Amino acid sequence: MGVSRSRQIAYDVLRRVEAEAAYASDVLHEALDASVKPADAALATEITFGVLRQRRLLDFLLDQHLKKPIEKLDLPVALALRMGSYQLRFLEKIPARAAVNESVELVKRARKTSAATLVNAVLHKVASETSTAAAKLLPPNLPLAERFAILHSHPTWLVERWLSRLGEVQTSALLEANNNKPRLSCALHQPERYQEVFDEFEAAGMRVERGVLLKNAFAVSGGSPARTRAFRTGLISIQDEASQAVPLLLGVRPGDRVLDLCAAPGGKTPALVRAAGNDGIVIAADRHAHRLRAMRTQFQRLKLDGVRLVELDAEQPPPFREEFDCILVDAPCSGTGTLARHPEIRWRLRSEQLAEFHQLQVHMLQNAFASLAPSGRLVYSTCSIEPEENEDVVAEALRDEPSIRRVRASAVAETLQPHLLSGLDARTLFASDGYFRTSPAMQHTDGFFAAVLERP
């Protein structure tokens, strides 16, 4: 018996995620070329992200039948066990025999033949337990944080901090949302051509749904938008709706001078360019030349000719003589608002990194203040839900810059309102503290934070 293409792709992607610290979405995109059948692509995607999202629970279930923790096993063996266990417990349509046998073949193909017997025996034991709810297999009297962390497959330290800040109900909802498949959202750059895009997707067997926040957003299932003519010709981009909303908070007007300070990978820049118009100036900056090259390719696809790309380090004072009417600081962050889309982050992030991100973000924001023109507006945003990276950054940066102040939430809501779906009140996207926030559990988008600041 051989290994199906779908499982081989999933195995190869998971190996690179673990061994090279790669991102699953990027590696999977490379692997799923036109030669891969849609059914194989779907199963490879399901297994890859399923194993990453459920890794802690899978490891707990496997460890009950191993003499040493799975973390101590050779990587090929650990991956084969996780893949097999995920299929046995979560994919009811996969025959148990196929899940077990192909996992055994994977370790043989990886030249770990001596482990084949182990994989076979352990997975047969896991298969015998699939009718038992995972919660019943936990030791009694586990602390709530540990129980949640195992059942919902998150690091205990993250669960502990969310429980202390959000409470049990909200934390449970967030953990469940992080383990759900996220919506594959797209931005429609030419709204008047919606029907044309819809017809193309429908003809390709894909399902299209309207967005949950924005008029010009929609979600796709049953296929890859990146393979469509609409994507190739720049009619659409693949982008989470909360991410699409962030640049709209700036309220860029025609003729404005705009700085996108941490622009890569460039998803938020197009909205700024279109709002600034032909008379505006938009500079998209990043510290890495290779990311700027990738952005240039994307802007060519979108037919955006007016963007000026600049290589600079946002941690250093800005090199510009001129000031900008609008500045977007979409800062590097922990990404805890994207754990459904990038589940590998939860296994890489360390608690001490939040303080490191905080210092970096404060420096970037303070440097950006120097380039903000009088009456200018600045948006500071992250895809994190951690206070250290969000409101704490804004508070510290503002303490040293009395000439900058926060814009009232009601005023920002007025800026955003025209872009929202009919019937959706923009004020509901602002928390009681006045900051823009989205949540995987509430809005079914990535978790984003944004503060809107101005120099009077």
Q: Is the pLDDT of residue 2 over 80?
A: no
d(C-alpha 275, C-alpha 271), whole Å: 6
Q: Concatenated DSSP letters for 93-147?
A: TS-HHHHHHHHHHHHHHTT-GGGHHHHHHHHHHHHTTTTS-GGGGSPTT--HHHH
Q: How many residues can be counted in the chain?
A: 456
| 371 inside domain | yes
Where residue 223 falls among pLDDT bands split at 50, 70, 90? confident
Task: List pLDDT tens digits, range 141-159.
Answer: 999 999 999 999 999 999 9
- Integer-rounded Cα radius of gyration of the chain: 23
For helices 38-53 and 24-31, angle between their N-to-C axes, nearest 10 degrees: 160
Q: What is the CATH number of the domain that holds 214?
A: 3.30.70.1170
Same domain for 261 and 228, yes or no, is: no
In this predicted structure, what is the pLDDT of residue 305? Answer: 86
Same domain for 386 and 427, yes or no, is: yes
Same domain for 202 and 287, yes or no, is: no
Q: What average pLDDT does this structure show over 152-178? A: 98
Task: List pLDDT tens digits, range 296-342.
Answer: 999 999 999 889 999 999 999 889 989 999 999 999 999 999 999 99
Same domain for 191 and 133, yes or no, is: no
Q: What is the CATH number of the domain that holds 95?
A: 1.10.940.10
Task: List pLDDT tens digits, range 87-144.
Answer: 999 999 999 999 999 999 999 999 999 999 999 999 999 999 999 999 999 999 999 9
Task: List pLDDT tens digits, range 260-297.
Answer: 999 999 999 999 999 999 999 999 999 999 999 999 99
Same domain for 119 and 193, yes or no, is: no
Q: What is the CATH number of the domain that holds 431?
A: 3.40.50.150
Collapsed DSSP state (helix, strand, coil) of residue 370: coil
The token duo for 141 is 């009297």
Q: Is the pLDDT of residue 65 over 70?
A: yes
In this predicted structure, what is the pLDDT of residue 428? Answer: 96
Same domain for 250 and 210, yes or no, is: no
Q: Is the pLDDT of residue 378 over 70?
A: yes
* 91 Rama sector, left if φ>0, alpha if ψ -120 to 50, beta otherwise: beta
In this predicted structure, what is the pLDDT of residue 34? Answer: 84
| 211 inside domain | yes
- Specify the number of domains making up the chain: 3
Bridge partners for 382 per DSSP: 449
Where residue 1 falls among pLDDT bands split at 50, 70, 90? low
> What's the predicted TM-score (pTM) here?
0.95
d(C-alpha 157, C-alpha 53), whole Å: 16
In this predicted structure, what is the pLDDT of residue 227? Answer: 87
Same domain for 190 and 90, yes or no, is: no
Q: Which helix (H) or strand (E) holds 23?
A: none
| 383 inside domain | yes
| 163 inside domain | no
Domain that residue 272 falls in: 241-454
Same domain for 421 and 400, yes or no, is: yes
Q: What average pLDDT does this structure show over 60-81? A: 96
Same domain for 79 and 94, yes or no, is: yes
| 160 inside domain | no
| 397 inside domain | yes
Is 359 or 34 the better-scoring residue by pLDDT? 359
* Cα angle, residue 242 at apex, residues 236 and 248 outer, rounded to 5°: 75
Same domain for 394 and 261, yes or no, is: yes
Same domain for 248 and 233, yes or no, is: no
Same domain for 218 and 293, yes or no, is: no
| 150 inside domain | no
Q: Which helix (H) or strand (E) holds 176?
A: helix 156-178
Bridge partners for 281 per DSSP: 257
| 144 inside domain | no
Q: Which helix (H) or strand (E) holds 222?
A: none
Burial class (CB in 10 A: 0-12, 13-18, 19+), 111: exposed
Which residues are the active-site residues?
383
d(C-alpha 448, C-alpha 438), whole Å: 5
